[in-house]
Amino acid sequence: MISTDLALALRAAGLVWHPSSGDRFQLDEPEFEADVFTVSEMTVEPRSYPTGSILAFNGTTEWALDSVALEDALWLPHEHQLRELLRGTFRALRRDADSHVVEIVLGGETLSFDHPEPADAYALAVLELMSRSD
C-alpha cells in the first residue's frame, strides 16, 4: 500500500481524486491517523452535492462518523491506479535486490524510480510526471 507521505505529496502536487468503489483513504484527523477506510456502497459511499462532495459512512461500521468532506480524506491509490496515471510513459516494473523499480520514458529519456514498496515506486514516477507536465 502507498505510504501516507507519498499520498500527501501526490495531493499537494495536484492529483485529484474521484472516489469509486474499492478506493482506500485515510482521514486528516489525529484520532483516525492509523485507520484506512475503503469506499464501498455498503459502508462508505461518495455523494456529490452542489456545495461539494462528501464520503458518507452508512450503517454501524463507523458509528462515530456520519460523513466527511472529500477534502478531509487522503486518497491512497492502488498500484494499478498509479500505473494508469503514468499512461503511455510506463515501460516496466521490475524487482532489483531489495526494491521495486518503475521505469518510464519522458521526452525520450528513460527514468527509473526505486522503492522497497511497488506502490511507492509508482507514486514517485507519477510525481515526476506531474512535475514535468506543469
Give this prediction's pTM.
0.84
C-alpha cell at position 29: 484527523
**Measured over all CA atoms, what is the biggest interatomic distance in the chain, rounded to whole angstroms?**
52
How far, in Å, CA of 97 to CA of 93, rounded? 13
Q: Are residues 16 and 32 in the same domain?
A: yes
Backbone dihedral region for residue 130 (phi beyond 0: left; psi -120 to 50: alpha; all else: beta):
alpha
How far, in Å, CA of 77 to CA of 3, rounded? 10
Q: Which helix (H) or strand (E) holds 93?
A: strand 90-96
19 CB neighbour count, 10 Å cutoff: 19
C-alpha cell at position 121: 515506486
Provide the domain limits for residue 118: 79-132
Flag the least confident range among 11-25, 48-62, 100-114, 118-132: 48-62
- pLDDT tens profile 28-68: 877 777 889 888 777 778 888 888 888 887 765 554 567 78
> How many residues in the chain?
134
Among the candidates 76, 91, 108, a domain finishes at: 76
Give the count of domains, the chain: 2
Question: Is beta strand 109-115 parallel, antiparallel or unpaired with respect to 99-106?
Answer: antiparallel
Q: Are residues 83 and 117 in the same domain?
A: yes
Q: Are residues 23 and 47 in the same domain?
A: yes
Q: Are residues 67 and 10 in the same domain?
A: yes
Residue 43: what pLDDT? 73
